[in-house]
Structure 1
Amino acid sequence: MNDLLEQLRAGLPAEALISDPDVMVSYAHDMASFCEAGAPAVVVLPRTVEQVQHVMRTATALRVPVVPQGARTGLSGAANASEGCIVISLTKMDRILEISTVDRIAVVEPGVVNAVLSRAVAEQGLSYPPDPSSWEMCTIGGNIGTASGGLCCVKYGVTAEYVLGLDIVLADGRLLTTGRRTAKGVAGYDLTRLFVGSEGSLGIVVKAVLALKPTPPPQLALAAEFPSAAAACAAVCRIMEEGHTPSLLELMDRTTIQAVNKMAQMGLPETTEALLLAAFDTADPAADLAAVGVLCTEAGATDVVPAESAAESELLLQARRMSLTALETVKSATMIDDVCVPRSQLGAMLEGTAAIAAKYDLTIGVCAHAGDGNTHPVVCFDHEDADESRRARESFDEIMALGLELGGTITGEHGVGVLKKEWLARELGPVGLEMQRGVKRAFDPLGLLNPGKLF
Structure 2
Amino acid sequence: MASSVLSSLQDLLPADRLTDDAAVLASYVHDEAEWATFGAPVALARPRTTAEVQAVVLACVRTGTPLVTRGAGTGLSGGANAVDGCVVLSTEKMTAITEINSVERLAVVQPGVVNDHLRAACAEHGLWYPPDPASAPWSTIGGNVATNAGGLCCVKYGVTRDYVLELEVVNGLGEVVRLGRRTAKGVVGYDMVGLMVGSEGTLGVVTEVTVRLRNARAPERTVVGFFDSVVDAGRAVEAIGAGGVVPSALELVDRHCLKAVDDWKNMGLSVDANVVLLGRSDTAGAAGDEEAATMLRCFEESGATFAAASTDAAEAEALFDARRLAYPALERLGPLLTEDVCVPKAAVPEMLARVEAASVRHDVLIANIAHAGDGNLHPLISTPPGDAAAQSRAQAAFRDIIADALALGGTVSGEHGVGLLKRDGLAQELSPQVVAMQRAVKAALDPHGILNPGKVL
TM range (shorter): over 0.9
What do residues 404-452 of structure 1 show as CA deviations (whole Å, max 9, x unaligned)?
A: 1111000000000011111111111211111111110010111100000
Alpha-carbon contact 1:220-1:309 (below 8 Å) kept: no
- Which letter maps to 1:353? V
1:324 matched residue in structure 2? 327
- Which letter maps to 2:114? V
- In structure 2, what is the Cα distance between the partners aligned to 1:116 and 1:420? 30
Determine if the alignment matches structure 1 residue 305 to structure 2 residue 308. Answer: yes
Alpha-carbon contact 1:258-1:270 (below 8 Å) kept: no
- In structure 2, what is the Cα distance between the partners aligned to 1:267 and 1:249? 22
- Which letter maps to 1:99? I
Unaligned stretches of 5+ in structure 1? none
CA RMSD of aligned residues (A): 1.2
Q: Which moved more, 1:142-151 or 1:394-403?
A: 394-403
**SS of structure 2 residue aligned to 1:332:** coil
Q: Which moved more, 1:370-379 or 1:389-398?
A: 389-398
Alpha-carbon contact 1:383-1:389 (below 8 Å) kept: no
- Superposed displacement of residue 78, structure 1: 0.4
Alpha-carbon contact 2:240-2:294 (below 8 Å) kept: no
**SS of structure 2 residue aligned to 1:349:** helix
- In structure 2, what is the Cα distance between the partners aligned to 1:292 and 1:24? 49
Unaligned stretches of 5+ in structure 2? none
**SS of structure 1 residue aligned to 2:12:** coil
- Superposed displacement of residue 270, structure 1: 4.5
- In structure 1, what is the Cα distance between the partners aligned to 2:353 and 2:265? 27
1:93 matched residue in structure 2? 94
**SS of structure 2 residue aligned to 1:236:** helix
Q: 1:433 aligned to 415, 429, 435, which one? A: 435
1:106 matched residue in structure 2? 107
- Which letter maps to 1:328? E
The sequence identity of aligned pairs, in percent, is: 46
2:166 matched residue in structure 1? 165
2:449 matched residue in structure 1? 447
1:421 matched residue in structure 2? 423
**SS of structure 1 residue aligned to 2:430:** helix
1:410 matched residue in structure 2? 412
- In structure 2, what is the Cα distance between the partners aligned to 1:142 and 1:12? 23
**SS of structure 1 residue aligned to 2:41:** coil
- In structure 2, what is the Cα distance between the partners aligned to 1:79 and 1:286? 43
Alpha-carbon contact 1:219-1:310 (below 8 Å) kept: no
1:246 matched residue in structure 2? 247
- In structure 2, what is the Cα distance between the partners aligned to 1:116 and 1:218? 20
1:231 matched residue in structure 2? 232
2:263 matched residue in structure 1? 262
- Which letter maps to 2:319? L
**SS of structure 1 residue aligned to 2:104:** coil
2:274 matched residue in structure 1? 273
- In structure 2, what is the Cα distance between the partners aligned to 1:316 and 1:340? 23
Alpha-carbon contact 2:340-2:413 (below 8 Å) kept: yes
Runs of 4+ residues over 6 Å off in structure 1: none
- Which letter maps to 2:382? C
Count, aligned residues: 454
Equivalent runs, 1:265-414 vs 2, <5 Å? 265-284=266-285, 285-329=288-332, 331-414=333-416
- Superposed displacement of residue 170, structure 1: 0.8
Alpha-carbon contact 1:181-1:209 (below 8 Å) kept: yes
- In structure 2, what is the Cα distance between the partners aligned to 1:366 and 1:200? 29
**SS of structure 2 residue aligned to 1:411:** coil
- Superposed displacement of residue 263, structure 1: 2.3
Alpha-carbon contact 1:220-1:313 (below 8 Å) kept: no
2:150 matched residue in structure 1? 149
1:129 matched residue in structure 2? 130
- In structure 2, what is the Cα distance between the partners aligned to 1:80 and 1:11? 25
- In structure 2, what is the Cα distance between the partners aligned to 1:133 and 1:419? 20
- In structure 2, what is the Cα distance between the partners aligned to 1:8 and 1:249? 48
Alpha-carbon contact 1:219-1:313 (below 8 Å) kept: no
- Superposed displacement of residue 67, structure 1: 0.3
**TM-score, length-scaled by structure 2:** 0.97
Alpha-carbon contact 1:342-1:372 (below 8 Å) kept: yes
- In structure 2, what is the Cα distance between the partners aligned to 1:417 and 1:235? 32
- Which letter maps to 1:9? Q
- In structure 1, what is the Cα distance between the partners aligned to 2:402 and 2:320? 27
- Which letter maps to 1:85? C
- Superposed displacement of residue 172, structure 1: 1.8
Inter-CA distance 227–382: structure 2 relative to 1 (3 Å threshold) = closer
Inter-CA distance 447–383: structure 2 relative to 1 (3 Å threshold) = farther
Alpha-carbon contact 1:106-1:212 (below 8 Å) kept: yes
- Which letter maps to 2:427? A
**SS of structure 2 residue aligned to 1:319:** helix
Q: Which moved more, 1:30-39 or 1:410-419?
A: 30-39
- Superposed displacement of residue 262, structure 1: 2.3
- Superposed displacement of residue 269, structure 1: 4.9
